[in-house]
Amino acid sequence: MSYRCAKCGKEIENIEDGMVRCQSCGHRILYKKRDPIAKTIKVD
C-alpha cells in the first residue's frame, strides 16, 4: 500500500503503524493511493 502526502504530494511507501507522517515535509495527513485497476465486467 502506498500513500500520498496531502500537503506536498510526495509518495510514501511502507508506513509503520502509528508513524503516519510524510517523510519529506512532516505533514500527518496522507491519502491512500489506489491502484488504477480497471475492472472489466462482461455483460452479454
**Footprint on this chain of Zn ion (rule: CB under 5 A):** 5, 7-8, 10, 22, 24-25, 27
Binding-site residue set:
8, 22, 25
Q: Tell me which residue of 1, 3, 2 sits closest to 29, measured CA to CA.
A: 3
Which CB sits closer to Zn ion, 20 or 43?
A: 20
- In SS3 terms, the chain reads as CEEEECCCCCEEECCCCCCCCCCCCCCCCEEEECCCCCCCCCCC
- Nearest distance in Å: CB 38, Zn ion: 29
Binding-site residue set for Zn(2+):
8, 22, 25
Which CB sits closer to Zn ion, 2 or 7?
A: 7
